Amino acid sequence: VLKKVFAKLFGVKTERIVPATYHEELEQQNYYLIPILGPFLLFAWLPYIPIDKKLLPEIWIIPYLRLGFSIATAFVLIAYNFKYFRHKSIVLVTFIAGYLVIVGSLIPALANANSAYVGGLCFLIVGLATAPLPLKIHFSLLVIAILTFFGTCYFTNVKFEDKFWIYSKNDLITSFVFSGFFAYVLNNIRKNIYLKNVKIVEQNKTITQQSSDIEKKNIVITDSIEYAKNIQKAILPEEFEIKKHFPDHFILYKPKDIVSGDFYWLHDDGERVLLAVADCTGHGVPGAFMSFMGYNLLENLINTTHKLTPSQILEELNNQILKVLKQKNQNASAKFGMDVAMISFNKQTKFLEFSGAYNPLYIFRGNELIELKADKRSIGSFKREEDVDFVNHQIQLLTGDILYMFTDGYYDQIGGPESKKYFIRNFKELLQTNCGSMLSTQNEIFEETIKNWQGNKNQTDDMLIVGIKI
């Protein structure tokens, strides 16, 4: 409560609205001041009445003047509650101050400039300086006080015979000068605080506006990408299509952002099922662009040329991407491309062919890992003279074999106690440990494991693991 009262008295900005002009600011300060100061002023002069009656019984009017101040204050406190005076607090305070000044000057003059009474006037004059009134009113009140006091003294023939008058006169002059100076300084302080508050409010407004702009932009961008996600979803093979050929399988697909640079692709040519797991350069939107291109090129080349082996597909895909992206410069490395693991699986004979551009194929036969290595050539890079064609691996699969195709996003995830990558050797171990479990269980374990590893870190890259049990 004290803090609030203080804030209101000195115009420090708490949560109140900062007015548009300084005059309105003063209006507001007076509005807060009246209910705080009013009840006190109501009784301020009453204790002096018996003293006046005792000291100056012959000047009967003084107690009435004192009482008049209480009545004036009461009037202001009542008026304060009327709507008409809602924005006239300066007028109300000026009215009280005016009464104080006029009557407060009148009484010591009537009291024959008695030094005790003049002292009271000094106190009043100085106190007046603290009122949050416009400077013009302050100075006017000071002039009125001087005129009233000396005017009354003149008309009532005050002789200034009190031997203490010399002292009181000094006090009075000092009070007037000091009051004017004090009012001026306080007014400046008030004005500065007000201007500072205005600045703060303006800055806050700008910040709020900016952050809401950013938020709006963010929503628009996110919405747009969310929508694009639906398109990307459409190019990924449907769950039932994969299930048709590989009833026991799982796919762990975790884009870093909403859309992904990782994708998988499935094609059934009657005799064989082709399945690719690809990791395009970049993630998010640029990654997704590349994934569309990869998907399209794969679809096209498979429909125009039949019975290609996985290595032939990769070779052709490489040529096509170089052509589309016009990456013909031999000297600089190509900046767009994809790493692909591609298998063809003969549905009848379970004969498997594999070719890999950086992405290998792991086959678990029981606990034994058969690792079909990928070529160290990315799709989309210029083929140099020393480069050989993609190797076409061949293997006869047995029932119960488990195939894993994956991108580097899983084992490159940064996390753990040292903020390190998960590392491919830990990933291999994870596969080894869990290859005996049901594939659906494996999927859960893999998700849980990487989530724990990641902790509160950001996802490093898109993740994709495809597991298939023959």
Stretch that binds other proteins, among 4-12, 175-183, 409-417, 448-456 (CB under 8 A): 409-417
* Cβ neighbour number for residue 235 with a 10 Å cutoff: 16
One DSSP character per residue, 180-221 reads: HHHHHHHHHHHHHHHHHHHHHHHHHHHHHHHHHHHHHHHHHH
Query: Interface residues for other proteins in 263-282 (CB under 8 A)?
Result: 279, 281-282
**DSSP strands (E only) in 350-422:** 351-357, 361-365, 368-372, 393-396, 402-406, 414-415, 420-421
Nearer to other proteins, 307 or 335 (CB): 335
Q: How many residues bind other proteins (CB under 8 A)?
A: 27
Stretch that binds other proteins, among 229-237, 294-302, 415-423, 432-440 (CB under 8 A): 415-423
Stretch that binds other proteins, among 2-10, 78-86, 98-106, 411-419 (CB under 8 A): 411-419
Q: Which of 335, 396, 452, 455 binds other proteins (CB under 8 A)?
A: 335
Q: Which of 104, 294, 310, 337 binds other proteins (CB under 8 A)?
A: 337
- The nearest distance, CB 427 to other proteins, in angstroms, is 10
Q: Which of 411, 443, 453, 469 binds other proteins (CB under 8 A)?
A: 411
Backbone phi, psi, residue 51, to 5°: -65, -45
- What are 352's strand-pairing partners? 345, 395
> Quick check: helix, strand or coil at residue 312?
helix
- What are 371's strand-pairing partners? 362
- What are 467's strand-pairing partners? 250, 404
- The nearest distance, CB 196 to other proteins, in angstroms, is 36
| 460 sits near other proteins (criterion: CB under 8 A) | yes
* Stretch (H or E) spanning 276: strand 272-280
What token pair was written down for 379? 């799709």
What token pair was written down for 219? 């929503």
Nearer to other proteins, 10 or 423 (CB): 423
One DSSP character per residue, 112-136 reads: TT-HHHHHHHHHHHHHHTTS---HH
- The nearest distance, CB 356 to other proteins, in angstroms, is 14
| 262 sits near other proteins (criterion: CB under 8 A) | no
Query: Interface residues for other proteins in 367-386 (CB under 8 A)?
Result: 376, 378, 381
Calpha distance 19→371 (Å, rounded)? 75
Nearer to other proteins, 318 or 460 (CB): 460
Query: Interface residues for other proteins in 120-179 (CB under 8 A)?
Result: none
Nearer to other proteins, 316 or 339 (CB): 339
Contacts of 239 (CB under 8 A, 6+ apart): none
Is the alpha carbon torsion for 315, 321, 326, 330 positive or negative? Answer: negative
Q: Which of 161, 332, 348, 367 binds other proteins (CB under 8 A)?
A: 332
Q: Which of 414, 444, 445, 447 binds other proteins (CB under 8 A)?
A: 414
| 388 sits near other proteins (criterion: CB under 8 A) | no
What token pair was written down for 197? 């508050």
- Helix 89-110 vs helix 115-128: crossing angle, to nearest 10: 160
Nearer to other proteins, 83 or 425 (CB): 425
Contact in structure between 105 and 149 (CB atoms under 8 Å):
yes
Nearer to other proteins, 190 or 421 (CB): 421
Stretch that binds other proteins, among 58-66, 137-145, 414-422, 438-446 (CB under 8 A): 414-422
Name the site residues for other proteins (rule: CB under 8 A).
279, 281-284, 331-335, 337, 339, 376, 378, 381, 408, 411-412, 414, 420-421, 423-426, 460-461
